[in-house]
Chain A
Amino acid sequence: MNAVAVEAPASIDYINADYGVRSWLLTKDHKRIAVLYLASVTLFFALGGLFAVILRLELLTPRGDLMQSDFYNRMFTMHGVAMVFFFMIPGIPAVLGNFLVPLMIGAKDLAFPRLNLLSWYLYVAGGLFTLWAMIRGGVDTGWTFYTPYSSSYSNSHVILTGLGIFIAGFSSILTGLNFIVTIHRLRAPGMTWFRLPLFIWAHYATSLVMILGTPVVAVTILLVAAERAFGLGIFDPARGGDPVLFQHLFWFYSHPAVYIMVLPAMGVVSELISAFARKPVYGYKFVAFSSLAIAVLGFLVWGHHMFVSGQSAYASVIFSVLSMFVAVPSAVKVFNWTATLFRGSVSYDTPMLYALGFIGLFTIGGLTGVMLATLGIDLHVHDTYFVVAHFHYVMVGGTIMGYLGGLHYWWPKIAGSMYPKFWSRLAALIIFVGFNLTFFPQFILGYLGMPRRYHAYPEEFQVLHVLSTAGASILGIGYLIQVVYFTLTMRYGKRVGNNPWGAVGLEWQTTSPPPTYNFETTPVVDWDAYEYKEKEAAHV
């Protein structure tokens, strides 16, 4: 160590390379942009969570006593909008993807760093518009904006919210575009497609969905806004418009959107399972291609949201059958992860707890999805809490577990410090218990006939609702614990070396946190993605 009066940092990394708000807000470094996204998506998650709290409080009692139905409509709409468009869709790709994609492929940055920064600013702008709409009274159409209510009759801020979502959609498109070009053109020498980590395959597939789907919902929102603002009559039944056309356009994106939400989480799980079983992922090529299969097949099933909308029976049958098919590649992944664990050297660090949680909860959510794809069942449970439970199992039990697992796995790389083991495991357990207590009763509620988007209900449903609300508060405690220890870790956490988990991957071969340009010299790759037997990297 030098003995000068001013102590220089032990190493220059992307965090201390430059100081000041401007250096962060005008950065072109993908790692800093990832951190900017981390801050903003966390804020929107908290906002969405706040709306959820309000909903669950109202649902404690059968009568609509906390609020009027109109207010309740606005609450569940804004819960959905904040969570779907401003947390789930950007979530893993914008935070973990932005940070890790260049590192994992051995590149110095994404292909278009300034577009990346623009993408964050678009996200913020969209978020601000939506926030403004919320403050001014919000929207009451449901996050699905069905016409003709949203286009003709609603007296809420549809255009403003729509504008916010529209802008955020461009953020998504730019991220996807950046990933696709980066993965095609900026891989390090020797990094062939089949040496790529499965996280990259997952993000590539996700990017395809972002590119092909998002523009459709964008133009659809524009049409609804034009109908409200200029009197265009595209969805107006009085002028011959068909509201079901809106649903086709909307779900063409919004179904693949759920794969935007879950594919990156699956990519994370592949990394976690491999690292904490210290084994290559079983059936690498199958898992890689299954990501592509999900992305493609995911575009062929949107009509399963419309079985009771007046869609023709023949179309419904086609969509139902195709929806069964889309379950297959997801199942392939679950089988391969399980096979990876077999005879692996399994350790139960916090990230692994989340990965295992994902596998179990996503399986439940996915299987109930197959149930919903079955026409006969869907007729009975459409628009009930069964659907609500299904998608929360895959989105929270699935994606959010994946997100938290990834955050806990790569946190040392991102922040250079390690969080406390006991509290992180406790939080994981609390979240798991809280989650199941919140959402499992909702399967039963839905099956018994409790409709979604209702704030008043028959007395006999109260016990299940109370259980659900209790679960939600436990879930909230779990999240709060995480906020506390992550914040403290940023300041007081124990510093870590390059590879605290002893994992294989290019990101672990550079410092924690990495330098601005990621690698001292461009790596040349001549090993496979998960060579755990040959590359027993020491815990550093």
Chain B
Amino acid sequence: MSSGHVMPIGKYVAVFLALLAGTAITVYVAFLDLGSLNNVVALGIAGIKATIVILFFMHAKYSTRLTKLVIVSGFFWLLILISFTLADFTSRGWLGFPGK
């Protein structure tokens, strides 16, 4: 009877420390003026944090291909929602006449 993949405690602690470090960096960088890079850094670090939580804490790295497909699809669908809606909001007024 397989009991799924058991991760060594050391790996969990490593991920934990990485998450804390990421948080500290995010806060530190937020107080610097990097222009539009601020957003990239903040979201980028958040994305990395989310990824390591998913891969290691949630065991996605050791799960089936189907599970990985499900995870990717979820985020991809959110991307569809956001990008298509933004396509509307950002292109308003491009044609130069009212209402379009």
Q: Are A313 and B84 in contact (CB under 8 A)?
A: no
Q: Are B100 and A299 in contact (CB under 8 A)?
A: no
Q: Are A312 and B92 in contact (CB under 8 A)?
A: yes
- Could you jot down 16 A-B contacts, CB within 8 Å? A212-B73, A212-B74, A248-B85, A248-B88, A252-B85, A303-B84, A312-B87, A312-B88, A312-B89, A312-B100, A313-B95, A314-B91, A315-B88, A315-B91, A318-B84, A319-B84
Q: Are B99 and A310 in contact (CB under 8 A)?
A: yes
Give the distance in Å from the alpha carbon of A313 to the alpha carbon of B80 in the complex. 19
Q: Are B100 and A313 in contact (CB under 8 A)?
A: yes
Main SS class of interface, B: helix
Name the interface residues of B64-97: CB closer than 8 Å to any CB of A: 66, 73-74, 77, 80-81, 84-85, 87-89, 91-95
Give the distance in Å from the alpha carbon of A306 to the alpha carbon of B100 in the complex. 12
Least CB distance from A229 to B in Å reads 25
Give the distance in Å from the alpha carbon of A216 to the alpha carbon of B88 in the complex. 18
A239 proximity list for chain B (CB < 8 A): none
Residue of A nearest to B90 (CB): A312
Q: Is A27 an interface residue (CB 8 A)?
A: no
Give the distance in Å from the alpha carbon of A245 to the alpha carbon of B84 in the complex. 12
Give the distance in Å from the alpha carbon of A318 to the alpha carbon of B90 in the complex. 14
Give the distance in Å from the alpha carbon of A302 to the alpha carbon of B87 in the complex. 13
Q: Are A299 and B87 in contact (CB under 8 A)?
A: no
Residues of A within 8 A of B (CB): 184, 212, 216, 242, 244-245, 248, 252, 299-300, 302-303, 310-315, 318-319
Contacts A216-B81, A313-B100 given: A303-B88 contact, CB under 8 Å? yes
Least CB distance from B2 to A in Å reads 15
B91 proximity list for chain A (CB < 8 A): 312-315
Contacts A184-B66, A248-B88, A303-B88 given: A314-B80 contact, CB under 8 Å? no
A303 proximity list for chain B (CB < 8 A): 84, 88
Least CB distance from A193 to B in Å reads 12
Least CB distance from A182 to B in Å reads 14
B92 proximity list for chain A (CB < 8 A): 310, 312
Residues of B within 8 A of A (CB): 66, 73-74, 77, 80-81, 84-85, 87-89, 91-95, 99-100
Residue of A nearest to B76 (CB): A212
A315 proximity list for chain B (CB < 8 A): 84, 87-88, 91
B74 proximity list for chain A (CB < 8 A): 212
Q: Are A314 and B94 in contact (CB under 8 A)?
A: yes
A310 proximity list for chain B (CB < 8 A): 92, 99
7 additional A-B pairs beyond A252-B81, A312-B100, A319-B84, beta carbons within 8 Å, are A299-B80, A312-B93, A314-B87, A314-B94, A315-B87, A315-B88, A318-B84
Least CB distance from A418 to B in Å reads 41
The 3 closest A-B pairs by CB, nearest first: A315-B88, A314-B91, A312-B91
A302 proximity list for chain B (CB < 8 A): 84
Give the distance in Å from the alpha carbon of A303 to the alpha carbon of B89 in the complex. 12
Give the distance in Å from the alpha carbon of A318 to the alpha carbon of B84 in the complex. 9
Give the distance in Å from the alpha carbon of A310 to the alpha carbon of B91 in the complex. 11
A312 proximity list for chain B (CB < 8 A): 87-89, 91-95, 100
Give the distance in Å from the alpha carbon of A324 to the alpha carbon of B10 in the complex. 54
A248 proximity list for chain B (CB < 8 A): 85, 88
B81 proximity list for chain A (CB < 8 A): 216, 252
Give the most central of A184, A299, A302, A313: most B CB within 10 Å.
A313
Least CB distance from A525 to B in Å reads 21
B87 proximity list for chain A (CB < 8 A): 312, 314-315, 318
Give the distance in Å from the alpha carbon of A394 to the alpha carbon of B19 in the complex. 51
Residue of A nearest to B88 (CB): A315
Residue of B nearest to A248 (CB): B85
B95 proximity list for chain A (CB < 8 A): 312-314
B85 proximity list for chain A (CB < 8 A): 245, 248, 252
Least CB distance from A293 to B in Å reads 15
Least CB distance from A180 to B in Å reads 9
Give the distance in Å from the alpha carbon of A303 to the alpha carbon of B73 in the complex. 21
Residue of B nearest to A302 (CB): B84
Least CB distance from A460 to B in Å reads 31
Least CB distance from A219 to B in Å reads 11
